[in-house]
Amino acid sequence: MLRRRRFVPGLAGAVMAGAATMASAQDPYGICLARLRRIIAEQLKRQAANVTAATRLREDLGFDDLSMVEFAMAVDNEFDALIEADLAADNWRTVGDAIRELDSKGACRR
């Protein structure tokens, strides 16, 4: 007898799907993405509604070394997640990388 498995998307599912555009209280990854979009919009001084978890920080958004460090510091301030800005600037390639680090620190659920 075959049992049907119910797929419950976790962080990987949310990141791969680009996360939902409308975040609810039940969706910590969507909330995390929405907060990151706000930080990106403030930093770039333009709308960031089209930013998804797959958006590349350097290639798609045009971040340079300084703006990567500033972004990491802004994320640290927003989420109070004790992020080392210089390491994050080197390791984060996409918005999803930032979400994964924030989730590993429990910051997406606060």
pLDDT band at 110 (very low <50, low <70, confident <90, very high): confident
The residue type of 21 is T
The string of pLDDT tens digits covering residues 45-86 is: 999 999 999 999 999 999 999 999 999 999 999 999 999 998
Determine the Cα–Cα distance for residues 105 and 64; give it in Å rounded to an integer: 25
64 is a catalytic site residue? yes
Q: Which of 27, 60, 64, 65 is catalytic?
A: 64
Determine the Cα–Cα distance for residues 56 and 52; give it in Å rounded to an integer: 9
The domain limits of the chain are: 27-109
Four-residue CA torsion sign, 72, 73, 75, 80: positive
**Which architecture characterizes domain 27-109 according to CATH?**
Orthogonal Bundle (1.10)
